[in-house]
Amino acid sequence: MTTLSEQPEPDVVKVSILNEESIILGFHLTKFMLRDVITIIPSSTYVICTDNNIASIYLSKIVDSFNLICSEITLSKGENASKPRLITYIIPPGEQSKSRDTKADIEDFLLSKACTRDTCILAMGGGVIGDLVGFVASTFMRGVPFVQIPTTLLAMVDSSIGGKTAVDTPNGKNLIGCFWQPKRIYIDLIFLETLPEREFINGMAEVIKTAAISNELDFINLENGVESIREAVLNPKRDIPFQGATIATRTPSQSLLLSVIMASAKFKAHVVTHDEREGGLRGLLNFGHSIGHAIEAILSPELLHGECVSIGMIKEAEIARHLGYLNQVAVGRLYRVLNSYGLPVSLDEKKVLDLVGKKFCTVDRLMEIMKVDKKNRGDQKKIVMLSSIGNTYEKKATDISDSIIRKILSPEIMVLPIKSSPNISSTHVTMKTPGSKSISNRALVLAALGDGTCRLKGLLHSDDTQVMLVALQNLGGARFEWEDNGETLVVTGGGGNLQIPDNELYLGNAGTASRFLTTVCTLVSADTATKTKKHTILTGNARMKQRPIGPLVNALRANGSQIRYVEKEGSLPIEITPSQTKLKGGKINLAASISSQYVSSILLSAPYASESVTLSLTGGQVISQPYIDMTIAMMESFGIKVERLEGDVYRIPQGKYTNPSEYVIESDASSATYPLAVAAITGITCTLPNIGSSSIQGDAAFAVKVLKPMGCTVTQTETSTTVRGPLIGSLRPLPHIDMETMTDAFLTASVLAAVANNDKGEECVTRITGIANQRVKECNRIAAMVHELSKFGVVASELPDGIQIHGSKIQSLKSPIDGVKCYDDHRVAMSFSVLGCVIPDGTIIREKKCVEKTWPGWWDDLETKLGINLLGIDFESSYHDSSEQADSFANKHLQDEKNVSIIFIGMRGAGKSTLGKAAAKALNREFLDMDHHFESTLSTTITEFIAKEGWETFRAKETEIFKSLLNTHSSGYIIACGGGIVETPSSRDLLKQHSKNHGKVVHIVRDINDIIRYLNEDVTRPSFNEELIDVWDRRKCWYKEYSDFEYVSINTSNINGITNEKDMTRFLKFIVGQDTNLIEPFDFFGRTRRTFFVSLTFPDVNPALPNIPTITHGVDAIELRVDLLSQNGSLPSVEYISQQLAILRRSSPLPIIFTVRSQGQGGKYPDTQEKEMFLLLEHAIKWGCEYVDVEIGWSPSLISKLIKKKGNTKIIASWHDISGTMQWDGEEVRRRHRVAQEYGDIIKIIGRANCLSDNFKLQNFVESRHSDKPIIAINMGADGQLSRILNQHLTPVTHPLLPSKAAPGQLSVAEIHKSLHLIGQLPKKKFYLFGTPIAHSMSPTIHNTGFEVLGLPHYYDIFESEDVAAVKPIIEDAEFGGGSVTIPHKISIIPFLDQITEHSKLIGAVNTILVDENKNGRKLIGDNTDWLGIFHSIKDSIEINSKTTGLIIGAGGTSRAALYALHQLGVSTIYVYNRTQSKITELIDNFPTFGIVPISSLSEPIPIPPQIIISTIPATSNLEIPNEIFSFGKGGIIVEMAYKPRRTKLLIKGDEKEWIGIEGIQVLIEQGVWQFKNWIGKKAPKNIISQNVYQNYN
Ligand SMILES: NC(=O)c1ccc[n+]([C@@H]2O[C@H](COP(=O)([O-])OP(=O)(O)OC[C@H]3O[C@@H](n4cnc5c(N)ncnc54)[C@H](O)[C@@H]3O)[C@@H](O)[C@H]2O)c1
Ligand SMILES: [Zn+2]
């Protein structure tokens, strides 16, 4: 153990700010810092403020060293010197602590500790602590000195510097604060070692931002130092104590880390010094933030600030590129650097989508938010424009017009047709297209090995070339410098003199680089070896470590090179030992049937061998000969001529490459086809100066072989190509062309063929063949082209190895309404943008971003170089914001829509306060009772006020107070109004206004007779002068009219475990969009799963309530067939329906489908009452039903009106063909589908089968339709049953416990599963429990019950073994469907699996094996559901808020799952008790951010008493359970993890204290239910499982 007293005197660096050297950086600064602080800020009291996370790791050590240093200092000053005191204050972590309340808490604390002006405050923590504590210091005693000790990367480089302090308010972040400069900022990088990875990455965004705007050299450091910097923080070396404190002990990684952080801090300090209060210069720091902040406003807290800024930087750089200020090279570098540190670079990255769930950013919304930024004016926004890496276009932000921002932000783009003008044919464009990757890589190696200086022009900038460059640099082989903003790379060749690099050469996943460099590394000189550097090591990422390199290594080894595989035989990493003879040379044999890159690799290095090389290719067919030819041709350009002897034998002379002074990298030939095709289709002229007739790329023949015969004028030199198109509309078809040598160009040719015709009215067919390989590219490109072309009205069809296209007249083509789908394929996108250049109405290209794969700047080039106008389009926006919504967006500003205050209205006694309070807790809002507010504002009681002033004055005053309340409490509240609020017209107007501003007004309805009964018991309220029933009659219309939603509160307190409070929470979360309770269509692996809903056919659901859990087994939603309800034999009233719905919601958490089927559609509702029916449907939306079924046959005006109001409710647009005449292959069904697609979120079409084959027609229809919306397609009748079995999405099902089937032919879930099994669609799988002893395990009962109830063919068995290896054959068997793992295999199983989930990684154990089977193969995945059992047991029982704390007893294996569960539940302080403290320390080490607080005795008073206690120790341990642990009071929850006895001592004691007790067996069952769900994609039937388990268990 090292103690702080041994901490050496650190070497520090100082940065000056505001003309004082007050920023100090280094490693292990604690003692240095304390001594410094005590000396320069002498005070009587020092206060350290920090948060829980940091305190638990660092605080005690710091306190110790403070005492130590104080003693030292007082000693040196003599006995009488007074010793300063140190006090500490800890707040909960997180942004919510940055509040006025916490500020007040700290101040009260300081005052209570008698702190005076003579106090110095130390803010130790991230930005939250720094901002908050700085603000406290600024006003405490009119300002006391303070010190920043930043512990997050963000705080080190940004928030601690500059003196900005602030707290948040419900109206927005950082709105209250001031400038208050810290006296010192101590940046101790050692803090970063405990920072969670995501927080580190978050801070990197600011570091990268600063380098990007200020200094290219810093940026290069970041580019080259990714591995090293990440390692210094995430995986630091700890060879010696206090490593890094002194320069002598600093690792190279630490030095690099220090230098990049210092650079960032320095720049911020510089800006602050020269521009302390926000001006132009400071504005530069806003790079990435204009757009980043808008994203953050929507996606916070799911995305962190730096993550949003990262995406913002890319978007803002793209704007600069679009405007021609910045080139693609720079955008690419920015993109790669952000990406390499783990930051997101796009909103639709999987990582981002996973984090943000259902939230999304529409372009409209982003634009709206940016509008309110105070820096902007009119339709211009101020955005920082980069002009190159390290420089900005202006020394301040630049005005950018909205239309440009919109274009860049939009996910879709509309290509407008070229403006036809008489002189179009005189337009001549010259442009460069992206360089070829193959040629770029070869040129880099050649120039680096050559003698002299070579300017490489047009190099492709990609991950691959970047990696190659860095590796060559590290081999000392050459010098590289950029010119013309990265357009030219100046290579000073090293003539083949290479040295052993300092570190491993990390190649990421760059395949070409790994192959070429393998031979290059054999040329390294043995003389450069030292004691510590003996070999060259080539390595890469995980994917790279799978890719083969064997044949090449074999050939080199046979030739005498010493190469060793470091890990897996046949792949990187490899270690190459330099030899005196370098590459020996002479005869080399190479198996060349796998990759031509092996051949090129040897060819490129061969001239430097000790003898001239004769290379023989063996192994039969040599593949990709053109690439070998390319290498040989390029070697010749660098002065070495390779001779091809007979067959596949090459002789390479010895020599050195002579670098030509300039080498122009040829364009990628496939990319080149697009601008040339634009010329062909529009009639302009286009010249490409970087590809011509000498090219050896196959696609280079496109101009001559395709464009020329189609009627273009083509002129080519060796290195350039010029194409002039004929007049628009006069391209000629190509009867037949074989494109085997240029397959990638067939898409370009196809769009041209689509408009190729002649005036003679003949068939103008183009047939392209030889392109079969294009079926297996990014997508099936042939099918994609046929399909997308047909959307324009082009007739096209597939050929066995090609495509056939009928050319049409341009005027007859229409643009597809829903745009061109690109299948994430860059070539599809670019080809159709060529076609779009002439289509009259403008063509929308979806997923525009897919062009980034090969040509990120394509859209800019298409517009700015080729002159085609583009518009930004956002399908989501136009879909989500109707115009009226968009208007009110403008008023809403930044206010988060989801947080707008909710207002409750309704009769007194309806439950507004009780429910409101509970829901406010669950939604993390504040609750406010209007009546109380009234009373406290006027310091009177309402009864008194009315007695004195009368009702009229009361109402007037009420309105006045209500009005100001809506201003001050417009978000973050649930406000319960007095019952009479609707009596005053001006109050009603206020309610309307609130709804318009997206606030929600909810009417809490309760049966009036219940209310009367209830109120009669309460005498404290002022009485009305009239009968309650009359009051209700007068108000009820107003309540209806002025509310957006209606919540029906019922007397039953709890049905099937769902309380009123819980249901209220579900309702509110739904209406504000916090949790819309929608059906999850995907399984654990993201595959579409089958979903079902059960149609209830009860006339009254009440008697059936106990059966609801059983009836809903295996289904995903419940349909309430409203037309089948019956109130005393007649049509149900609105009230009756609302009651039924309310009861149903209390009996199941499943989403509800609200359906009113009319007689004409097979239901019972009268066909004549259309208006009444729509009234019911509108009510369904008001009641918060998740789904509403609407028949598309009703009046369109009624349907549209309904849909406008739908809010978060999803519409199922359905069509029932009761007549039985609709044919699935006819016109009618297509028409119905179109209409349904327009109205619905889900489409439902029900036909009738007259024979079995009608079901196949239905299947064909479903597969061939073009829509992203899910469809329910079914045939009624016995002949149609097959369609019910095969339907994928939301199949309606029945259950034996229902009185009747909702439709003829309906099946149950179990029946459908059994049928699927019989027809081979659901193979039987075997599941196992692994471990020992397990003979008495309940798991088989759990899972086999589940399988049986759901009709699944699977079987679960136990497999007992001591030796974990025995499970191997079982899990590898194809029949194996999944497994449970228990002691003793939970850890030892891991090596047998392909991967384990994040959960299990964190918990450190696997209890579940999942099988991920798809077309790419089969993978075994380890998961952990232990925590889920605990998590759900608690979540279903109590509401957790930010103040809830938990206690875990025990610190063994199970406690880890318990910890994880509590953390996932959002519990931020977790007390842990264990007999041995060291175990707790270990837990804290493993979960440093979980807020673990160790307690040494259970009877010690706990500051915030826990509401949750989890016991993870055996029931046999005779632990005393003191009363103190229950000091939370009634209503806490105990989770017991021990199974035997069923009622442990703890549970019994908990019972006495009126705590909820969860038995171990309950947790096991819950855990099993989730395990089952992860295997099967369905929740297990818990109630029957529990029954069976308890039967066997007791
Ligand atoms: N004043 C300014 O100029 C300025 C500039 C930028 C951001 N900010 C503010 O900064 C805040 C964000 O700061 P942040 O990103 O640092 O977040 P933060 O302060 O919330 O810290 C992030 C998390 O990391 C934990 N943590 C911090 N240091 C740790 C360590 N060394 N080891 C383990 N855990 C650690 C914290 O407890 C917290 O959970 C925001 O409120 C923002 O408004 C201010
Ligand atoms: Zn920032």
Q: Is 95 part of any known ligand binding site?
A: yes
* 159 Cβ below 6 A of ligand 1: yes
The closest ligand to the CA of 206 turns out to be 2
Least confident of 66-80, 454-468, 665-679: 66-80
With beta carbons less than 8 A apart as the criterion, state whether 160 and 190 touch: no
Q: How far is it, in rounded angstroms, from Cα 129 to Cα 102?
A: 11
Q: Which of 28, 31, 266, 293 is catalytic?
A: 293
What one-letter code names the amino acid at 1565?
I
Phi, psi of 715 (to 5 degrees): -125, 135
* Four-point Cα dihedral 247, 252, 256, 259, nearest 10: 20
Main-chain phi, psi angles of 425, to 5 degrees: -70, -10
**Do residues 1145 and 1152 make contact, with C-beta atoms less than 8 angstroms apart?**
yes
pLDDT at 277: 61
Tens of pLDDT, residue by residue over 1184-1228, are 999 999 999 888 888 888 988 898 999 999 999 888 888 998 888
Pairing of strands 1210-1216, 1242-1248: parallel
Please check the confidence at residue 1160 and state whether its pLDDT lies above 90: no
What stretch of H or E contains 1534?
strand 1533-1536
Q: How many A from CA of 1491 to the centre of ligand 2? A: 26
Per the annotation, the verdict on 521 as an active-site residue is: no
Asked if residue 208 belongs to a known ligand binding site, the reply is yes
Alpha-carbon distance of 1147 to 444, in angstroms, equals 69
Instruction: Name the residue with the closest Cα to ligand 1, atom 6.
Output: 159
Q: What's the rounded Cα separation, in Å, for the pair 540 and 712? A: 47
Ligand 1 in reach of 309 Cβ (< 6 A): no
Q: Quick one: pLDDT at residue 194?
A: 94
**Which ligand ends up closest to the CA of 129?**
1
Measured in whole angstroms, how far is the alpha carbon of residue 163 from the centre of its chain? 33
The residues near 55 (Cβ < 8 Å, ≥ 6 apart) are 88, 90
Specify whether the CB–CB gap between 680 and 712 falls below 8 A. Answer: yes
Please check if 760 is assigned to a binding site.
Answer: no
The DSSP code for 739 is -
**Residue 908: per-residue pLDDT:** 87
> Tokens for 767?
């047939």
Half-sphere exposure of 40 (CA within 13 A, CB side): 14
Task: Decide if pLDDT at 892 tops 60.
Answer: no
C-alpha to C-alpha distance for 697 and 701, rounded to whole angstroms: 8
Mean pLDDT of the region 1118-1122: 96
Average pLDDT over residues 1006-1012: 86
Whether 142 has a binding-site annotation, put simply, is yes
CB 195 less than 6 A from any atom of ligand 1:
yes
Q: According to the 3-state scheme, what is the secondary structure of 236-277?
A: CCCCCCCCCCCHHHCCHHHHHHHHHHHHHHHHHHHHHHHCCC
* Ligand index nearest the alpha carbon of residue 52: 1
Q: Are 1483 and 1512 in contact (CB under 8 A)?
A: no
CB atoms under 10 Å from CB of 1352, counted, come to 25
CB 839, CB 417: distance < 8 Å: yes
pTM value?
0.57
Provide the pLDDT for residue 547: 81
Residue 247 and residue 426 in contact, taking contact as beta carbons nearer than 8 Å: no
Task: Kindly provide the b/e burial profile for residues 60-99, where b requires at least 16 CB atoms within 10 angstroms of the residue's own CB.
Answer: eebeebbeebbeebeeeeeeeeeebebebbbbbbbeebbb
* Cα 189 to ligand 1 centroid, rounded to whole Å: 15
Going by C-beta distance under 8 Å and a sequence separation of 6 or more, which residues neighbour residue 21?
A: 14, 15
Task: Write a three-state SS string for 511-546.
Answer: HHHHHHHHHHHCCCCHHHCCCCCCCEEEECCCCHHH
d(CA 427, CA 840): 20
Using N-to-C axis directions, what is the helix angle for 1227-1239 and 1196-1204, rounded to 10°? 30
Give the pLDDT of residue 1054.
Answer: 65
Please tell me the residue having the least CA distance from ligand 1 atom 41: 128
Task: Return the DSSP state at 163.
Answer: -
Question: Is the pLDDT assigned to residue 1058 strictly greater than 90?
Answer: no
Tens digits of residue pLDDT in 313-372: 999 999 999 998 998 889 988 998 998 899 999 887 878 888 887 677 888 888 888 887
pLDDT of residue 893: 31
Angle between helices 1453-1464 and 1477-1486 (to 10 degrees): 50
Question: What's the CA gap between 1145 and 1148, in Å, rounded?
Answer: 6
Pick the residue whose CA is nearest to atom 2 on ligand 1: 159
Among 1012, 1013, 1004, which residue's Cα sits nearest to residue 1028?
1012
Would you call 394 exposed, middle or buried from its count of C-beta atoms within 10 A (0-12, 13-18, 19+)? middle
Mean pLDDT, range 377-392, rounded to an integer: 88
Q: Which ligand is nearest to the CA of 308?
A: 2
898 pLDDT band, cuts 50/70/90, is low
Average pLDDT, stretch 1046-1074? 83
CA of 1494 to the centre of ligand 1 (A): 24
Is 1257 a known active-site residue? no
Give whole-number Cα distances, 84 to 38, 68, 73, 185, 1096, in Å: 9, 12, 10, 21, 75
**pLDDT, tens digit, 9 for 90 and up, residues 555-579:** 999 999 999 999 989 999 999 999 8
Is the link from the previous residue into 241 a cis peptide, with omega within 30 of 0? no
Q: What is the mean pLDDT of the chain?
A: 89
Q: What is the pLDDT of residues 289-305, one digit of tens each?
A: 999 999 998 898 889 99
Share of residues in the chain with pLDDT > 90 (%)? 56
Tally Cβ neighbours within 10 Å of residue 685.
Answer: 20
Q: 143-192 pLDDT, tens per residue? A: 999 999 999 999 999 999 999 999 988 777 888 999 999 999 999 999 99
Is 994 part of the annotated catalytic residue set?
no
DSSP, residue by residue, 1259-1307: HHHHHH---SS-EEEEEESGGGHHHHHH--S-EEEB-TTSSS-SSTT--
The answer on pLDDT for 120 being more than 60 is yes
If you take atom 18 of ligand 1, which residue's CA is the nearest one? Answer: 126
Which neighbouring-strand residues pair with 687? 430, 722
Average pLDDT value for residue range 1571-1586: 93
Q: Is the pLDDT of residue 479 over 90?
A: no
Residue 194 CA: nearest ligand 1 atom is 32
Judge contact between 245 and 26, C-beta under 8 A. yes
Looking at residue 1025, what is its pLDDT?
A: 59
Angle, in degrees to the nearest 10, between helices 596-605 and 625-637: 20
Tokens 């931002």 — which residue?
A: 209
Q: Which residues contact 1119 (CB under 8 A, 6 or more apart)?
A: 1093, 1094, 1095, 1096, 1152, 1153, 1154, 1155, 1189, 1292, 1302
Most confident of 197-211, 1018-1032, 1127-1141, 1411-1425: 197-211
Positive or negative, the CA dihedral 342, 348, 354, 360 is: positive
Q: Do 1066 and 923 touch, CB atoms closer than 8 A? A: no
Taking residues 1486-1503, report their average pLDDT. 85
Q: What are the tokens at 1566?
A: 């819950």
Asked about 1432 being catalytic, the answer comes back as no
Token pair in block for residue 1127: 């109130």
Q: Which of 49, 70, 837, 850 is catalytic?
A: 850
Instruction: State the catalytic residue, choosing from 72, 227, 276, 278.
Output: 278
**Does residue 28 have an active-site annotation?**
no
Distance 199 CA to ligand 1 centre (A): 8
**pLDDT at residue 1284 is higher than 90:** yes
Give the pair of three-digit tokens for residue 707: 């464009």
Check whether 1022 has a pLDDT greater than 70.
no
How are beta strands 737-738 and 765-769 bridged, if at all? parallel
Calpha distance 1531→918 (Å, rounded): 14
For the ranges 433-447, 920-934, 1240-1254, which has the lowest average pLDDT? 920-934
At 891, is the pLDDT very low, low, confident or very high (cuts 50, 70, 90)?
Answer: very low
Catalytic position from the list 457, 535, 1069, 1244: 1244
98 lines ligand 1 (CB under 6 A): yes
SS3 content of the chain, % helix, strand, coil (to 5): 45, 20, 35
Which pLDDT does position 605 carry in this prediction? Answer: 95
**CA nearest 1479: which of 1518, 1511, 1449?**
1449
